[in-house]
Structure 1
């Protein structure tokens, strides 16, 4: 990342690197590449002043502001490991993540004046970071629903984007926008890495406001939009309400299935085909191409570039496995501390089920039963363990069910202990313990017992089928 930053600062010093809406669009902050370069190395000097050494972890929880990107890059300048935490995470998860990484320091939004206002030396000594060392740690849910740390290097992050920028016509300059958190893989890829790699401009918004973002998209001539369907639908609604000139070259939707109506609206209002995007924290992404049929995004999750190969059983649905340059260096189980080096293991089981799309790509059809989430994964085991402490909960299993707006939400299937709890009581209980709001169940089902296999493990696949059947009007006596 540092080489990309230095190249852009030398080639386009006065080009805007970041245009950020803050306070819900009430204010706009712009940084040129010259200014971003200066701020990155000021932040690096501030980190060193706090005693951060190469290889140590810097944890930070910041909204989508320029300081988020600058601090990420400053970690590279120091040789530290960046450990970003989504701004929507609750205090419980934030504390756990910091504990798991043994972070040297933790930076919150209220700490930013130390970095932005201090008299720090902005000098760049030209030192190069090792592109293959562990640079970034992100947290996600594994196939068993337990929290897992994913370790990336500069090169694993660059691998997919390098091919993407080589084969796609994204405009000149490239102007990217994504409403997703810069502390997650999609937001980081399209909000920080892609602009740096191309010397382009990134558009940020610290508080989601589709109307204000729509105006910014038009004013700045955004060429690349990457968003989950609900965000994309809100921007389309803003365009219907107030048609403005748009400059999109590539519009991508990921994180959940693409509704057929959405693909038609993108083609009608934006004048180009909607692209489907499949990505995961563990690395890389697939996407549909501009040359694919107009509605292909509703039938395929695209093709990988040479950065990843995939493995599927011929014909029907099977577990999706990947390997290649974009795969993370390793994953770490937060419970046992066990590290799995992906390059040594070969194929990595993504936890998703897929089938060939007939055009050399994939169509994701489902996921392993203990993974729940649409735009972001829920740490299932964490929620179950906390719910088990409620006095009215005898046994509990957290199961995903389809939701049109969010892709998938969590249902708590509970065997009551005494008087049965209500959903509101369970959510209030989790909130009191600092549990992140979107981790919490949106549905409650009370059952006399949980179905188990011969090993005593809850048969969540059966529970999920029963939830779906109930929603479709069938009542199998759950």
Structure 2
């Protein structure tokens, strides 16, 4: 097998060094199992137990397995071959799960598009991967993708489009043009990789601007992340997990998400949207025990819960991740929603951290957890990439048995995103505690350099959220001729908007240094969101720059 210590450019997979891969297998971290087999065991052990609940269908484990096998046969009949890429673009439905697992069962590689992606993104995914298929919704989720699918098919030679209607049937349109035989530039020794070491899926990077980069995850590394998440999150066959975020998102799929629940023999309930109205009703009617959301959704739930009469007593655990949950909001989860908070800090590229049930309250409310595996290698470094002591802010670097060694066909970017010895430069600013827990203080690009003084925006946002008149806030940099950058706080008020004088007084009373206090406050009715529900800082920055 090819042994590498630096990322390979422009290949379908940048493999771990051969000696390290062998070690991961010897340690039992990589088991050789395949994601396409995830439904088999519980279809045999608990065939009548509910597996998936969606707006389109309710499936027990036996029916889920039979539907997976039926669809896998369909893909084979279409002429799709193992290793082919297929763009999967479905909303939160049972159909998403059956199609995802059936693609794996047939040896195909799904590209995890979001339901609200459009031509710019889908056409790029198809072109970059040379995809042979595009599986999308025909009327599910209130969106008809027929025109989009046809346009994509006409622009990409060899692409077959499968439209999935809202009743579970298919309208299949195959491109009559002969499929071109495009070469695949694979590294020496590729054929020696076990099936579980090959690319299983292409996840999307979490950037808020531009077309997402594609993240190659293998069966071995992805299953390790899911398998290790389950005991930490206490996922069992009794778990009823509400999929409130877009189902293709890495958090919703694997932390522990849909795959963790299926692996444990539990039930995944697909929510059409993350709103309190929708999710609270499902928590009550489906007796949901666990869910995972991003901080803006958690804040919405906290704000709405006192005004609603839904019975949320079944909810035992709420995982919050995707960005830093303010400490003040974290402290309110249990009193307001009546469930345990579990903070998550992870990335589609690999590393996942959780707070644990045995952690004390302060650790749960002020940190974003510690890595799931003792084999995760975590470094916190300064601008010269020298390690900093625990307790100091630094940039997070990581590598390990489920963290990628390079993005898909992105050699130039890989040279910037990875060190020569394989560490992924996450772009996150963190503080590591002696226990190994990490507190996220922001992103490298989200620091504001105000006249030479560095401001971590998450810290200031956390202080502002303790003001009773602030429901949500994001701080971004604005250009300034004298200082270079100045801080602007864009906030959604809770009731009557507080004045700038009141907010500055509040921050000073909390002991915040004057240079960290925002230069300007802007009140708005809503903040722009990315497709997975995070606050879209890029859009806010653009608006502030042009204001």
With structure 2 as the length reference, what TM-score do the two structures score?
A: 0.63
**Deviation, structure 1 residue 194:** 0.8
1:279 aligns with 2:346: yes
1:347 aligns with 2:415: no
**Deviation, structure 1 residue 310:** 1.1
Q: Which residue of 2 aligns with 1:203?
A: 269
Distance between the aligned counterparts of 1:96 and 1:407, measured in 2?
A: 33
Change (3 A) 1:401 1:267: closer
Q: Secondary structure at the match of 1:202?
A: strand
Q: Secondary structure at the match of 1:212?
A: helix
Q: Which residue of 2 aligns with 1:194?
A: 260
Q: Which residue of 1 aligns with 2:543?
A: 444
Structure 2: runs of 5+ lacking an equivalent: 1-34, 139-162, 173-193, 381-387, 449-455, 466-470, 482-534
CA deviation string 1:33-83 (max 9, x = no partner): 111111112221222222211001000211111111111111111111110
Q: Which residue of 2 aligns with 1:214?
A: 280
Q: Which residue of 2 aligns with 1:324?
A: 400
1:3 aligns with 2:101: no
Change (3 A) 1:401 1:88: farther
1:309 aligns with 2:343: no
Work out whether residues 294 and 323 of structure 2, in 8 Å CA contact, stay in contact via their aligned partners in 1. Answer: yes
CA deviation string 1:134-160 (max 9, x = no partner): 010022167997842210012211212
1:253 aligns with 2:348: no
1:94 to 92, 116, 122: 122
Distance between the aligned counterparts of 1:144 and 1:243, measured in 2?
A: 37
CA deviation string 1:296-351 (max 9, x = no partner): 33421111122523112213122211121221364225485979998994322212
Q: Which residue of 1 aligns with 2:291?
A: 225
- More moved, 168-177 vs 359-368: 168-177
**Deviation, structure 1 residue 236:** 3.8
Calculate the aligned-residue CA RMSD, in Å. 3.7
CA deviation string 1:285-305 (max 9, x = no partner): 101112222243342111112
Distance between the aligned counterparts of 1:199 and 1:40, measured in 2?
A: 16
Change (3 A) 1:296 1:444: same
1:116 to 145, 150, 168: 168
Change (3 A) 1:68 1:325: same
Change (3 A) 1:187 1:368: same
Change (3 A) 1:222 1:446: closer
Distance between the aligned counterparts of 2:48 and 2:205, measured in 1?
A: 37
Q: Which residue of 2 aligns with 1:457?
A: none
Distance between the aligned counterparts of 2:115 and 2:317, measured in 1?
A: 27
Q: Which residue of 2 aligns with 1:356?
A: 432
Q: Secondary structure at the match of 1:180?
A: coil
Work out whether residues 275 and 297 of structure 2, in 8 Å CA contact, stay in contact via their aligned partners in 1. Answer: no
- More moved, 190-199 vs 203-212: 203-212
Work out whether residues 39 and 65 of structure 2, in 8 Å CA contact, stay in contact via their aligned partners in 1. Answer: yes
With structure 1 as the length reference, what TM-score do the two structures score?
A: 0.71
**Deviation, structure 1 residue 114:** 11
Work out whether residues 152 and 329 of structure 1, in 8 Å CA contact, stay in contact via their aligned partners in 2. Answer: no
1:156 aligns with 2:211: no
Q: Which residue of 1 aligns with 2:176?
A: none
Q: Secondary structure at the match of 1:349?
A: strand
1:68 to 82, 96, 101: 96
Q: Secondary structure at the match of 1:369?
A: helix
Work out whether residues 152 and 330 of structure 1, in 8 Å CA contact, stay in contact via their aligned partners in 2. Answer: no
Q: Secondary structure at the match of 1:116?
A: coil
Work out whether residues 159 and 326 of structure 1, in 8 Å CA contact, stay in contact via their aligned partners in 2. Answer: yes
**Deviation, structure 1 residue 408:** 5.8
Change (3 A) 1:152 1:342: farther
Work out whether residues 331 and 340 of structure 1, in 8 Å CA contact, stay in contact via their aligned partners in 2. Answer: no
Q: How does 1:139-150 map to 2 (within 5 A)?
A: 139-140=204-205, 147-150=212-215
Q: Which residue of 1 aligns with 2:468?
A: none
Work out whether residues 284 and 310 of structure 2, in 8 Å CA contact, stay in contact via their aligned partners in 1. Answer: no
Q: How does 1:369-388 map to 2 (within 5 A)?
A: 369=445
**Deviation, structure 1 residue 117:** 2.7
CA deviation string 1:85-112 (max 9, x = no partner): 1112232122212211111111221211
**Deviation, structure 1 residue 207:** 3.6
**Deviation, structure 1 residue 116:** 3.3
